[in-house]
Structure 1
Amino acid sequence: MSLDPDTLMGPLWTLLAFVGLGWLAARRLAVDPRPIATLLIYLIAPLTFFRGLILGGPTPAYLLITASLFAAACLVALLVSAVARRALPGEEGAVLAFSAGTGNTGYFGLPVALVLLPPEGVTLYLFGVLGVTLYEFTLGFYLSARGRFSVRDSLAKILRLPLIYAFLAALLVEGADLEVPNAVMEGLEVFPPAYTLLGMMIIGMTLGRVSIRQFDWRFIGACVTVRYAFWPLLALGAVLALQATTGLSPELSTALLLIGVVPMAANVVVVAMELGMAPEKGALAVLLTTLAAPLLIPFYLGWMLPLISG
């Protein structure tokens, strides 16, 4: 199994076009991205998440994948947070800690998953993505908030996040074998595309306000190292260990590797924007890792896939 770099050019150019639209909106129309970030976090993301869970039909095996990715994301974020507190200022360290547990598994990773994996493998990938997303709006949001707020205020902010309740509502619907009306599911179809479009436009809107003085190579270097050095090795080590002990399927193995090699998550900027914490530096790091993805993802997968299939 191999991946042609040209496969990634379509998603890349689409995402960069959305970033460019956001930049134009900020520079020419003076659009404020903060209300959009609030809209994404409190309305669009939870409805997108709820729809994905209902369509996926969560089973105990699928939810185990979600729980495992959630736990892995939390552990990585806590580890990086402990190091970042000593090496970076409070807000930058908090943004780095948040970014350490997540990646662009949806906007960028899903098109690649559709190329690499059969339908069953794509379903496995999506339930892994749900675990990463759940991290973003629980512990990840808390770690970001702690860069600026007290423990009590940070916990209060998490309890106000509707994505947690969307997750519980989806489990309740499935557990009680309730039927969501077709009209409701059709209405929810607009939210995933809106989530992608607005999430990437916020990066462009933030970059429209960036000056050369905000180009912090130490912070950006730390983000790139965590995303493109630590995560690929962690994913490969976990897959090899699980294959040796549990007989992990090739589809799930590939899905886990892909989660480990995607660029930084656009939600790094969304959450930083909502909390008012160094969104400009986060936007620069997200853009650079996204630009590097068409070169690095085929390189990593070309090296790793033979190892897990041999």
Structure 2
Amino acid sequence: MQSYISIFGSVSVPILMACLLGYLFQAFRSPDTKILADLSLFVLSPCLIVGSFAGSSLGSSSFGHIALFTALQTALCWAASLAAGKALRFDRSSLRSMEMTTIFANSNNYGLPLLLLAFGTEGFAIGVTNVVLHIVLVNTLGLYISSRSSFSPRQAAVAMARNPLIYAAAAGLLLYALRIPLPGSLADGFRLIGGAYAAVVLLILGMQLRKANWRSGMRRELWIAVAMRIAGVPLLSWLAISLLGLRGLEASVLFVQSSMPSAINSVVMMEKYGGDPEMTALNVAITTVASFLYLPLIIHWAHGF
């Protein structure tokens, strides 16, 4: 019980605070959230990627395990959400929303502090690498999924190629592979700018929740997508871990991190490129609230790996 209260106080309260401020800002000022979405996608996340990869001390073996898990778990979640949406006859925008919220977890601003509490600094180091890979995915695969609801596949691919994060990730990976450290002042600059990423996307979530029509938003598609994230994703993550034969701390961290509530980044992508931002924001809100109850069970399960 004490650890549960500690997790709520150190992780959940700051998240709720940022969302509330975004909600109030939208209520009283009505800003254009697309400007903030552009800022997070084209400025903040590339700086976060370069700074994180270039400063990583993780071994190449662990990096390979994390990358393999991320790729396999993403493929399983994408296939499951796509199959479920097609079978249940979701419309195009609702299907895109469920794909995004099933594939991408809130592994950064919620997941990393939780990992530090549950698994210490070693678990945190594994989590940081997974976060960076997911930010790359959400800004490439996520961009493709969200923009397909309003663009043709060719237009979506062109938009993805124009995303600076792809090139930031390539530069960061090159620095990591060659073990080339950034000059101190440059590294500080990347950390300073990239450090604003989590706060900005949380504010965007709060602003989107203020704009959402809660009454009309509570529909069948939303609850199916919520069930996919809370129940389906942990099972698929467990399957990926079993198929790869992962054990110990790596398996525990990756399982917990992938079972987090839906990613706030998904709201940003829907806001920027189309789809159903209302359904996505409601999914993020509901799964985040539910996570206060189910995450302690997930952590308990993970300690058995």
Q: Which residue of 1 aligns with 2:54?
A: 54
Compute the TM-score of the two structures, normalised by the length of structure 2.
0.91
Which sits farther off after the overlay, 287-296 or 58-67?
58-67
* Partner Cα distance (2:270, 2:279) in 1: 10
Contact 1:104 1:262 in 2 (8 A): yes
Q: Which residue of 2 aligns with 1:275?
A: 273
Q: Which residue of 1 aligns with 2:180?
A: 178
Secondary structure at 2:195's aligned position in 1?
helix
1:81-101 CA distances to partner (integer Å, 9 max, x unpaired)?
243245211111112112211
Contact 2:53 2:175 in 1 (8 A): no
* Partner Cα distance (1:16, 1:301) in 2: 21
* Partner Cα distance (1:234, 1:37) in 2: 30
Which sits farther off after the overlay, 152-161 or 123-132?
123-132
- The structural deviation recorded for 1:44 is 0.6
1:234-254 CA distances to partner (integer Å, 9 max, x unpaired)?
223333454xxx4x3421121
- The structural deviation recorded for 1:177 is 4.1
* 1:111-260 alignment runs, 5 A limit: 111-242=113-244, 246=245, 248-260=246-258
1:124-181 CA distances to partner (integer Å, 9 max, x unpaired)?
2222222322221222221111122101101011101111111110122233443311
Secondary structure at 1:4's aligned position in 2?
helix
Contact 1:50 1:166 in 2 (8 A): yes
The amino acid that maps onto 2:123 is G
* 1:56-135 alignment runs, 5 A limit: 56-57=56-57, 59-64=59-64, 65-86=66-87, 87-135=89-137
Q: Percent identity?
A: 25
- Of 290, 293, 304 in structure 2, the residue corresponding to residue 292 of structure 1 is 290
- The structural deviation recorded for 1:47 is 0.9
Q: 1:180 to 1:307 in 2, by over 3 A?
A: closer
Which sits farther off after the overlay, 117-126 or 101-110?
117-126
The amino acid that maps onto 2:226 is V
Structure 1: tracts of 5 or more residues without a match:
none
The amino acid that maps onto 2:302 is L
Q: 1:264 to 1:192 in 2, by over 3 A?
A: same
Contact 2:69 2:240 in 1 (8 A): no
Secondary structure at 1:189's aligned position in 2?
helix
Q: Which residue of 2 aligns with 1:17?
A: 17
The amino acid that maps onto 1:6 is I
Q: 1:306 to 1:190 in 2, by over 3 A?
A: closer
Structure 2: tracts of 5 or more residues without a match:
none
Contact 1:5 1:295 in 2 (8 A): no
* Partner Cα distance (1:67, 1:270) in 2: 26
Q: 1:174 to 1:253 in 2, by over 3 A?
A: closer
Secondary structure at 1:190's aligned position in 2?
helix
RMSD over equivalenced CA pairs, Å: 2.0
Alignment length (residue pairs): 302
The amino acid that maps onto 1:305 is A
1:38-91 CA distances to partner (integer Å, 9 max, x unpaired)?
111111111111111111145432331124303421332133124324521111
Compute the TM-score of the two structures, normalised by the length of structure 1.
0.90
